[in-house]
Amino acid sequence: MRPGVLVEGDLPRPDGHEVPRSIRADAHTRMLPVAIRSAPAEVAVLARGPPGPCSGG
């Protein structure tokens, strides 16, 4: 499996867009794949579905 970085886009500091810029600025990490996750928390909760007997909630 190829290494990569998953960044939360809603980070307060450093923000989710500053992290990839820092990665690209360093010659040792420049070629790492970077994915930015930017879904709001409400969407993540809705994507999981409502709590139920099979969800542990």
Q: Where are the domains of the chain?
A: 5-48
Q: How far separated are the first and last CA of the chain, in Å rounded?
A: 33
Q: What pLDDT score does 51 carry?
A: 58
Q: What pLDDT score does 16 carry?
A: 75
pTM above threshold 0.85: no
pLDDT beneath 50: ranges in the chain: 57
